[in-house]
Amino acid sequence: MGNTAESIQPKKNPTRGLFKVSPYMVIPSRVGGFSLYLKQGDSLVLYADKGELFTEQHKARLGKLEVDHLYIKAEDYSHYASYLHDNLEEVLDDEAIPVKERARAWNDATVSLAKQAFDRTLPKPMNKKRFTMIRKLINSSLKFLARDDAMRELARFIKDGHELFNHGIGVMVLTVSVMNTYVKDDADLLVAVGMGAILHDIGKLELPEDLFARRWSSLSLSEQDLIRSHPALGVGVCSSLPLPQETLHCILFHHERVDGTGYPSGGTGEMLPSYVRVLSLCNEYDNLVRGAGKVLTPFEALTRIKSQRTAHDPEMLKRLIAILSKAEMT
Ligand SMILES: [Fe+2]
Ligand SMILES: [Fe+2]
């Protein structure tokens, strides 16, 4: 514990370069591969050292001190992320932890993983290890994502960020939530579609980044064709992974429309599996409320989607609207 009180960075801003960690993430009988610090006045004091076993006393003492946050150093963040992954299911199921803190843990775990899967600087961002971790994460999340109160808390986190991985997470949460309203007892399907939703735009990594930042009307026909190739490229990126068929369908068909105006197949209505119809709708919605350019409010985005009339499945649109209003996102 911090009895030895190793003090670091006693200057004006002691929390610079540090990440906040919820005290609820100190789980007795677990070992953190990261050092935890407490803020005391203008100083940080070591609370638990790297490799130290967390105990009931650690937890009780935090309660007594009424600590809102602990801190970890940036260099330890990847260790914290793997600790979160290892313990996520338990944290999400723990009714003693406020839903708000569980939502924060879920967001931290998901962002750290999705960020790597979409990292252009890594030689192979989507490998078997990451794929297995994403599958495990979605599996552990299903029960939590089905709760209305969890959605309300998660809504705060998932609306932020313009990067591909933020979009993947936002689309995944909405898609799984819509499916939760009509899929019963088919966790395998929900996990497969959840993976497809988080990875649906992975093929964009194969194309120049600036292509997607430009307005559609400023692109030449061959550039437009390149953009249209990203679903097929995504399937190629994932070809060495043991992906379920539904995940591949999600990646390949996320730009289809029920009236046949989408791509690459131009399939219509019932030809598209219901999960593809949900994903294509949630993808369009998230693109309208996110993105680097002009961003619409949720109300404007839904109005725009409704005005397209035949493009999306009206039943799924109704379900999406109900979820957004329950989560207070409209
Ligand atoms: Fe896409
Ligand atoms: Fe997308």
pLDDT at residue number 123? 85
Question: Relative to the alpha carbon of 253, which ligand is closest?
Answer: 1
Task: Using the predicted structure, report yes or no on whether residue 6 has a pLDDT greater than 50.
Answer: no
Question: Relative to the alpha carbon of 288, which ligand is closest?
Answer: 2
Q: Mind listing the pLDDT tens digit for each residue in 223-237?
A: 999 999 999 999 999
**Ligand 2 center–CA 168 separation, angstroms:** 7
**Ligand 1 center–CA 168 separation, angstroms:** 10
Question: Relative to the alpha carbon of 264, which ligand is closest?
Answer: 1
Alpha-carbon gap, residue 94 to 113, rounded angstroms = 22
Whether this model's pTM surpasses 0.75: yes
* Strand partners of residue 14: none
**Ligand 1 center–CA 77 separation, angstroms:** 30
Give ion ligand 1 contacts, CB < 5 A.
Answer: 201
**Ligand 2 center–CA 255 separation, angstroms:** 8
pLDDT band at 213; cut points 50, 70, 90: confident
**Ligand 2 center–CA 125 separation, angstroms:** 18
Question: Relative to the alpha carbon of 197, which ligand is closest?
Answer: 2
**Ligand 2 center–CA 13 separation, angstroms:** 39
Question: Relative to the alpha carbon of 163, which ligand is closest?
Answer: 2
> Residue 138, CB half-sphere, CA atoms under 13 Å: how many?
27
**Ligand 1 center–CA 297 separation, angstroms:** 20
Which of the two residues, 9 and 47, has the higher pLDDT score?
Answer: 47
Question: What is the rounded average pLDDT of the residues 160-180?
Answer: 95
Alpha-carbon gap, residue 91 to 87, rounded angstroms = 6
Question: Relative to the alpha carbon of 287, which ligand is closest?
Answer: 2
Q: Mind listing the pLDDT tens digit for each residue in 242-280?
A: 999 999 999 999 999 999 999 999 999 889 999 999 999
Alpha-carbon gap, residue 173 to 310, rounded angstroms = 24
pLDDT band at 328; cut points 50, 70, 90: confident
pLDDT band at 4; cut points 50, 70, 90: very low
- Residues 6 or more apart in contact with residue 309 via CB below 8 angstroms: none
How does the average pLDDT of the chain come out, rounded? Answer: 91
Backbone angles phi, psi at 38, to 5 degrees: -110, 150
**Ligand 1 center–CA 184 separation, angstroms:** 28
Alpha helices for the chain (secondary structure H)? 56-65, 77-93, 99-117, 128-145, 148-158, 164-180, 187-199, 221-228, 230-237, 245-253, 274-289, 298-307, 314-326
